[in-house]
Amino acid sequence: MGQSYKYFAFISYNTKDAKWARKIQRKLEHYRMPSTLCNQKGWAKNPPIQPVFFAETDIQPGPLDNELKQRLEQSRYLIIICSPNSAKSHWVGKEIQYFIDLQRESNIHLFIIDGIPYSGDINTECIHPSIKKSGIPEILGVNVNEKIYKWHFLNKERAYVQLITKLLGVEFDSIWNRHKRILIRNILSIILLLTSILLLFYLFAIPIKLNIKLVDENHHLPTSNNAEVIVNQSHYPIPLLDTCLVIDIPGYYKMKPYNITFQSKYYETQSLDYAYQWRSYHNITINLLRDNTFAIYAGVVINENRESLPKVCVTIANKYQVYTNKQGEYKIILPIEQQDVVQRINIFKEGYTPITKEEIPSDNAIFVLFENKHAYE
């Protein structure tokens, strides 16, 4: 039966390379293998590479030498973070030598992050002299700077998987192909996330341009100089009707309902509800409608005794004619093309003196007809 170890691996590194050591510990302890492979290998846990000893987080108070020796004895593998920094490190050398003294030199794995292995140049050499002096065969390490792919991050990921498969003694290609599929899926997820963020930016940051076209009816009536359009309670004055008004609305109103209200003297108030679309602009046409200010002529006709006169003929503009009812009331509504500021009104009833005059529109006029005495002589 093989020896039981507390740690799957021990990471030896120079303090200047602590970031890499920390990253490798995290990668190894969290790397999940395919479930089928775990079943085949009889691995009871997944991820199978744990725990990994990393001195910055795992060292306990006490004599450093004895503590490290104990950790090395309890570790199945030794992973050396290779760089020109570690190649010059006293502590890295002591850890390598002690692991070799334990006769586990075949369990040493090199992870090269910088430098040139076996170059012999003090400035570029990344393999510690302890390995060379030990007489063990030259170890081929995993190199993150090996240019297999165009993108550096992909080469780093490949190096991580190489180290993992070496530690577990499994085929590299199948694990790497699976890892690449996961990477592609994660990259696509990131792209989708960034696209969503950009879409949100579009929705909330880019304003909406409202192009509101006001179309007035064909008429020759007075217009107002105090017209305004109200968009979500914000007021926008309109100096001229029959024009186009451009309004910028905050982008967060996209896909939300909003209200546009037009109001002006001489015109009907129009309140219209819309829903913003995904576009950054919205063309809206409002056909203006005149109110009844110049349309209605209505009132009552009475005699000098203030009695209502029925069947009185009331004519507006020599064209529109009605007769008063029993209460002496009349009402004429002119079409827009016949409306004007003043109109000629004729009021006639046999036996009474007729009235002809220029009259402004009114819905409560009172006309008094005087009886024509000469009509009975």
- Is residue 282 domain-shared with residue 317, that is, in the same domain? no
CATH of the domain at 371: 2.60.40.1120
Report residue 377's pLDDT band, with 50, 70 and 90 as the boundaries.
very low
- Is residue 97 domain-shared with residue 141, that is, in the same domain? yes
Which range, 150-154, 251-255, 364-368, is most confident? Answer: 364-368
Mean pLDDT of all residues in 99-105: 91
| Domain boundary pick from 270, 287, 304 | 287
Question: Is residue 358 within 8 Å of residue 342, measured between CB atoms?
Answer: yes
CATH of the domain at 48: 3.40.50.10140
User: pLDDT at position 202, please?
Assistant: 73
- Whether 350 is covered by a domain: the verdict is yes
Report residue 208's pLDDT band, with 50, 70 and 90 as the boundaries.
confident
- Is residue 48 domain-shared with residue 144, that is, in the same domain? yes
Q: Can you spell out the DSSP letters for 78-139? A: EEEEESHHHHT-HHHHHHHHHHHHTT-GGGEEEEE-SSBTT---TTTB-S-HHHHHTTPPPP
Helices 18-30 and 152-168 cross at an angle (nearest 10°) of 60
Structure-derived torsion over alpha carbons of residues 177, 179, 180, 181, reported in degrees to the nearest 10: 90
- Is residue 131 domain-shared with residue 71, that is, in the same domain? yes
Query: Which residue bears the tokens 């199978």?
Result: 48
Range of 163's domain? Answer: 7-170
- Whether 186 is covered by a domain: the verdict is no
Q: What is the pTM of this model?
A: 0.59
Mean pLDDT of all residues in 231-245: 86
Using one digit for the tens of pLDDT, what is the confidence trace for 84-97?
999 999 889 999 99
Q: Is the dihedral of CA 73, 77, 81, 86 positive or negative?
A: positive
- Is residue 40 domain-shared with residue 129, that is, in the same domain? yes
| Domain boundary pick from 258, 287, 316 | 287
User: pLDDT at position 365, please?
Assistant: 95
- Is residue 218 domain-shared with residue 102, that is, in the same domain? no
What mean pLDDT value characterizes the chain?
88
Q: Is the dihedral of CA 132, 136, 142, 148 positive or negative?
A: positive
- Is residue 237 domain-shared with residue 134, that is, in the same domain? no
- Is residue 242 domain-shared with residue 328, that is, in the same domain? no
- Is residue 371 domain-shared with residue 238, that is, in the same domain? no
Mean pLDDT of all residues in 38-47: 80
Mean pLDDT of all residues in 105-110: 92
- Is residue 128 domain-shared with residue 79, that is, in the same domain? yes
- Whether 199 is covered by a domain: the verdict is no
Using one digit for the tens of pLDDT, what is the confidence trace for 258-277?
889 999 999 999 998 887 66
For the chain, what is the domain count? 3
- Is residue 258 domain-shared with residue 314, that is, in the same domain? no
Q: Residue 39: helix, strand or coil by DSSP?
A: helix
Percent over 90 (pLDDT), the chain: 55
- Is residue 133 domain-shared with residue 78, that is, in the same domain? yes
User: pLDDT at position 8, please?
Assistant: 94
Query: Quick one: tokens of 39?
Result: 């079943």
d(CA 180, CA 49): 20
Question: Where is pLDDT greater, at 49 or 45?
Answer: 49
User: pLDDT at position 270, please?
Assistant: 93
Question: Is residue 70 within 8 Å of residue 102, measured between CB atoms?
Answer: no
Asked which of 10-19, 61-70, 121-130, 313-322 is least confident by mean pLDDT, the reply is 61-70
